[in-house]
Each structure stands twice: as C-alpha cells, then as structure tokens.
Amino acid sequence: MSSARYQILHETHYRYAAPVSLAQQLAHLWPRTCPWQRTLSQHLLVSPPPCQRQDALDVFGNPLTRLVFERPHQELKVSARLQIEVLARPSLDVQASPAWEAARIALTYSGKALLPGVLEATRFRFESPYVHLKQVFSDYAADCFSPGRPLLAAVDGLMQKIFSEFSFDAAATQVSTPLLQVLEERRGVCQDFAHLMLACLRSMGLSARYVSGYLLTQPPPGQPRLVGADASHAWVSVYCPRQGWVDFDPTNNIRPALEHITLAWGRDFADVSPLRGVILGGGSHDPEVQVTVLPL
C-alpha cells in the first residue's frame, strides 16, 4: 500500500462539580502537515461556544487553537473530526546511519555556527518537564550504544529493549508518575515508554522529540470495531545528521508507517497535551475522552 485514509473522532467531555465562571483552553487537535500525511478535512465542535477562538502555531510549529470562555458553564465538550491521508515513508537502512558518537558530537556546541537543521534539533537535547537527564537512564541504554554502532541501529536496539522488558499496564501509572518509578517497576503506557526512551537518548547526548498522534488498532478476531475504543498514542523521533528525523514506536516495537497518524511533536507530553488550560471555579472534575480511528 502506498497510502491509507482515516476518519478520526476525538471527543473530550468535562463535567464540573460547580460552575466555571472563566476559562482558557489550549487545544492540540489539528494534525500538522508532514511529508508523509495530509489533512483532507477538519472540524472542531465546541459546546458551549467560546467567546474567543484563535488558531495559530505553537513554538514547535504545531497547529494550536486557543479557546476563551467568559460565561458561566458547568460542562465543556470539545470534538475534533478529522479525515487524514497517510502516505508511505521511504525505506530506511538503519545500518547506513553514522556512528552514534558522531551524531552526539554534531549536536555539541563547539564555538562554530551550527547548521539550521542541527540548531533546530538541539532544542530537543535537554531536560523538559517530564523528561530528566540522569546517569541511570544512560546506564540502561548503554548496552545498545556500543562503540561505533550506527545511530539508528542503536536506537532500534533501545526500542526493542524497552518493548521486551516493559509491560503495558494502563492502571500502573498516571501523567505525573516519575520516570524512575516506571524504570523500576517496568510497567506503564505508551506515554511512559516514549518518555523513558527520550530520557535514555537525551542522557546519551542525542536529540529526540515526543510525538503525539493516533494509531489504528485492530479489534479482537470476530469482534466489531467499537466507537470510542481507541486512544491517543505517543512515540519518539530521533535526529540523525544524515537522515534527519526518524520515528520509533517503543510500545509496539515498530517504525511508524501507514497506521500511525501524526498530530504534534514537542519536548514531552506537556508541550502537546490534546486539551489543557486554566479555569476559575469548577470544583472537582475529570475528563471523559473517547477516540475513534476508522479506516476509510
């Protein structure tokens, strides 16, 4: 297959214990334009209607929608409806990439001007709110990064290691669960595995970014595809001076292809949360999120 088309429905519903008098929300629900995908249609439905809406780009180039609510409301519904075409990516030989040490040196400031692509990549080399640089992470990845090993082969080995040594457990972690706990307990979800892989790569001196999006999942044999049964997905993209940015999915031990829909990328989840904001009032509240990915 050279391409695949999908219809995506991402619904978020907040029910507040008390009225919210003022609110501002930031939504990362529009997919970004990439060489390997294009948006065929997109619609955002918001109830109650916002008093102000502004569509722009964030500092990483992701489409961002700002919503302002100045009237009291006790619930909020945000629904994104998308049609996306995903194109096949070029084949890649991970052994043809430069040695990982050479990539690290290329990303290191030496007093000389950096090429634009390298300069852009360096912003994804440092700590971020959910990804800290520690020796324990570089120690965990060390056996994948033997001297002189091609960068992308080493990253592929790290992806396989995380996939084989960690268990997917939706009840094991929350957004705020420290990565050291994830590493110790060897359990988590796609967000945890992406953050862990980022911590390992950045602790090795490499540039890597967090990618959010969707993944086409297959229902059990004989079972129908259920509306709302899917979820947002996360994976990792690493910078290679020769090949550019290359994606890896440690949750599934694959390189993203036609079944991965890219939404946004940043340093970690905090930069690309689908919906976040500040409210005045509201009391306790938890969002109900439903995601449906349908092949067309």
The CATH number of the domain holding residue 150 is: 3.10.620.30
Model pTM? 0.94
- The β-bridge partners of 65 are 27, 55
- DSSP states of 30-51 as a string? SPPPBTTEEEEEEEEEEESPPS
Q: Kindly state whether residues 187 and 284 are assigned to the same domain.
A: no
Q: Kindly state whether residues 28 and 118 are assigned to the same domain.
A: no
Place 260 in a pLDDT band, splitting at 50, 70 and 90.
very high
Instruction: Answer for the pair 287, 13: CB distance below 8 angstroms, yes or no.
Output: yes
Burial of 239 per CB tally in 10 Å (0-12, 13-18, 19+): buried
Give residue-wise pLDDT tens across range 96-141: 999 999 999 999 877 777 888 888 999 999 999 999 999 999 999 9
Cα angle for residues 169, 266, 47 (degrees, 5° grid): 80
- As a whole number of angstroms, the distance between CA 246 and CA 121 comes to 12
Question: Residue 211 is which amino acid?
Answer: V
Mode of pairing for the β-strands spanning 167-168 and 187-188: parallel
Q: Kindly state whether residues 112 and 244 are assigned to the same domain.
A: yes
Q: Kindly state whether residues 282 and 262 are assigned to the same domain.
A: no
The CATH number of the domain holding residue 52 is: 2.60.40.2250
- As a whole number of angstroms, the distance between CA 262 and CA 153 comes to 23
Instruction: Answer for the pair 28, 110: CB distance below 8 angstroms, yes or no.
Output: no
Instruction: Answer for the pair 212, 233: CB distance below 8 angstroms, yes or no.
Output: yes
Is residue 226 over pLDDT 60? no
Determine which of 188-197, 200-209, 241-250, 285-294 has the lowest per-residue pLDDT on average: 285-294
Beta strands in the chain (DSSP E): 3-27, 37-47, 52-57, 63-69, 73-87, 167-168, 187-188, 208-215, 232-240, 244-248, 260-266, 275-281, 288-295
Range of the domain at 142: 94-271
* Short-list 46, 43, 41, 45, CA closest to 6: 41
Which residues touch 171 (CB under 8 Å, ≥6 apart)? none
Q: Kindly state whether residues 142 and 196 are assigned to the same domain.
A: yes
Q: Kindly state whether residues 204 and 287 are assigned to the same domain.
A: no
Q: What is the pLDDT of residue 145?
A: 98
Q: Kindly state whether residues 8 and 74 are assigned to the same domain.
A: yes
Q: Kindly state whether residues 164 and 59 are assigned to the same domain.
A: no
Residue 192, helix vs strand vs coil: helix
Instruction: Tell me what the mean pLDDT of segment 173-194 comes to.
Output: 94
- As a whole number of angstroms, the distance between CA 55 and CA 22 comes to 20
Q: Kindly state whether residues 170 and 203 are assigned to the same domain.
A: yes
Instruction: Tell me what the mean pLDDT of segment 270-291 comes to.
Output: 91
Instruction: Tell me what the mean pLDDT of segment 170-178 comes to.
Output: 88
Cα dihedral 176→179→181→184 (10° resolution): 160
| Residues 286, 268, 158, 85, CA torsion sign | positive
* Short-list 156, 173, 186, 181, CA closest to 269: 173
Q: Kindly state whether residues 246 and 277 are assigned to the same domain.
A: no
Share of the chain above pLDDT 70, in %: 98
* Average pLDDT over the chain, rounded to an integer: 93
Q: Kindly state whether residues 186 and 228 are assigned to the same domain.
A: yes
Q: Kindly state whether residues 81 and 128 are assigned to the same domain.
A: no
Tally the domains of the chain. 2
